[in-house]
Amino acid sequence: MRAAVLRALGELPRCEDVQEPLLDEGEEVVHVTACPLTNLDRDRAAGTHFAAPAVLPAVCGSALAAGRLPDGTRVLFRSPGGTMAERAATRRAWCLPIPDGLDDALAAAVQNPGVAAWNALKWRAELRPGESVLVLGATGVAGQIAVQLAKHLGAGKVVAAGRNPRVLAALPALGADATVRLDQSDDALRHDLRDAAGGEDFDVVLDYLWGRPTEVFVSTLGFADMELRFSRTRLVQIGAMATPALRLPAQVLRSSGLEIMGSGTGNAPPPEVLARELGQTLDLLADGRLRMEIERVPLARVRHVWNLDQQGRRTVLIP
Ligand SMILES: NC(=O)c1ccc[n+]([C@@H]2O[C@H](COP(=O)([O-])OP(=O)(O)OC[C@H]3O[C@@H](n4cnc5c(N)ncnc54)[C@H](OP(=O)(O)O)[C@@H]3O)[C@@H](O)[C@H]2O)c1
């Protein structure tokens, strides 16, 4: 069968012939129909992610993919052996049915950004109805989903910050109350972030970028006096598209209510919560209350599209 194979960290995966998946006790073969290409896949293959593959060659694909079980059930499934292949090994316990009428490729594409946004908003930040949310990196696939889910989960005001003008202009239709351009001077960005906050600190910040945009945001916080106050801004670190490290002045943590936490594998909710979040995300997508753009690409072209900036669209590989 054909699969996207990584032979060395830092190289581009190639579509190659590989052995059929070997099944352990309790596993069955799933025929893969759609597999998203995420930044996690890119970072792991580049060797820059903490969970880069330890054994090579390896079949790529770490997000859930869509496929058909031997009895014909359409599912999103997990496969530790990699999902970017014509077939993969899975277990029923690792599968979630795809709702009728929902396209396989869309279902596969929404899982990673959908559950990530849900986890960050509800599980980590514990968003309450009416609270304000800033999304740093709102023009990415994950950021666009986060803007929509923040509104769905009852956020009062959602401010979307990004660079891509086409996507930024489309965000109000997805629920953003205001947009902020990140590609401007630090002073202008600081001014626009303060303006969008409307004289109060954001309650929740979803951060897909880190580095310079986050540093500028953090510099908008803090009171320059000795009054005793209580405030809380829960900044959830989700991705590091700008820079992997941050300069954080100590005084910001004393003069503001900034609380920084991450959202990822080390602090995930229990499996039943994840399954519920994913099920609700799929339902929202199926009835059109959640929108995302995807681009279907044949698996054979994996090498050519691996590092392509899809400008707010998710590449989905079709075996
Ligand atoms: N922790 C988790 O559970 C989890 C789950 C999903 C995603 N993530 C991570 O979240 C991040 C975003 O994922 P995604 O799927 O949205 O990626 P994506 O669709 O490729 O979007 C990338 C985003 O990063 C922005 N960006 C890239 N470089 C930048 C820079 N130097 N300065 C400012 N903005 C920059 C892009 O802005 P423009 O397009 O406007 O230029 C765009 O908004 C990735 O790091 C991903 O691994 C984490």
Same domain, 149 and 238: yes
Same domain, 256 and 311: no
Same domain, 159 and 203: yes
Tell me the CB-side half-sphere exposure of residue 60, using CA atoms within 13 A.
33
Q: Is the CB of 114 under 6 A from ligand 1?
A: no
- The Å distance, Cα 313 to ligand 1 centre, comes to 11
Same domain, 121 and 259: yes
pLDDT at 189: 98
Query: Is residue 278, in this structure, part of any structural domain at all?
Result: no
Query: Is residue 83, in this structure, part of any structural domain at all?
Result: yes
pLDDT at 202: 98
Q: Tens digits of per-residue pLDDT, 243-294?
A: 999 999 999 999 999 999 999 999 999 999 999 999 999 999 999 999 999 9
Over residues 70-74, mean pLDDT: 96
Residue nearest to atom 26 of ligand 1 (CA): 241
- The Å distance, Cα 160 to ligand 1 centre, comes to 13
Report the CATH number at residue 195: 3.40.50.720
Same domain, 249 and 144: yes
Q: C-alpha angle 247/249/252, rounded to 5°? A: 130
pLDDT at 299: 98
Same domain, 93 and 134: no
Phi then psi for residue 271, to 5 deg, are: -55, -35
Q: C-alpha angle 217/221/227, rounded to 5°? A: 180
Residue 224: pLDDT band (50, 70, 90) is confident
Query: Is residue 172, in this structure, part of any structural domain at all?
Result: yes
Over residues 90-105, mean pLDDT: 95
User: Residue 87's Cα: distance from chain center in Å?
Assistant: 25
Q: Tens digits of per-residue pLDDT, 165-214?
A: 999 999 999 999 999 999 999 999 999 999 999 999 999 999 999 999 99
Separation between Cα atoms, residue 10 and residue 7, nearest integer Å: 9
Closest CA to 79 of 30, 146, 152: 30
Query: Is residue 108, in this structure, part of any structural domain at all?
Result: no
Q: Is the CB of 216 under 6 A from ligand 1?
A: no
Percentage of the chain exceeding pLDDT 70: 100
- The Å distance, Cα 318 to ligand 1 centre, comes to 23
Same domain, 159 and 257: yes
Q: Do you find a cis peptide bond into 298, omega within 30 degrees of 0?
A: no
- The Å distance, Cα 162 to ligand 1 centre, comes to 10
Percentage of the chain exceeding pLDDT 90: 95
Query: Is residue 279, in this structure, part of any structural domain at all?
Result: no
Q: Which domain holds residue 81?
A: 2-97+289-318
Query: Is residue 111, in this structure, part of any structural domain at all?
Result: no
Over residues 289-306, mean pLDDT: 97
SS (H, E, C) 58-118: EECCCCCEEEECCCCCEEEECCCCCCCECEEEECHHHEEECCCCCCHHHHHHHHHHHHHHH
Report the CATH number at residue 25: 3.90.180.10
Same domain, 48 and 151: no
Residue 63: pLDDT band (50, 70, 90) is confident
Query: Is residue 133, in this structure, part of any structural domain at all?
Result: yes
Same domain, 251 and 303: no
Residue nearest to atom 22 of ligand 1 (CA): 140
Same domain, 171 and 250: yes
Separation between Cα atoms, residue 115 and residue 198, nearest integer Å: 29
Query: Is residue 217, in this structure, part of any structural domain at all?
Result: yes
Domain count of the fold of the chain: 2
Phi then psi for residue 96, to 5 deg, are: -130, 130
Same domain, 170 and 248: yes
pLDDT at 226: 86
Q: Is the CB of 160 under 6 A from ligand 1?
A: no
Same domain, 27 and 168: no
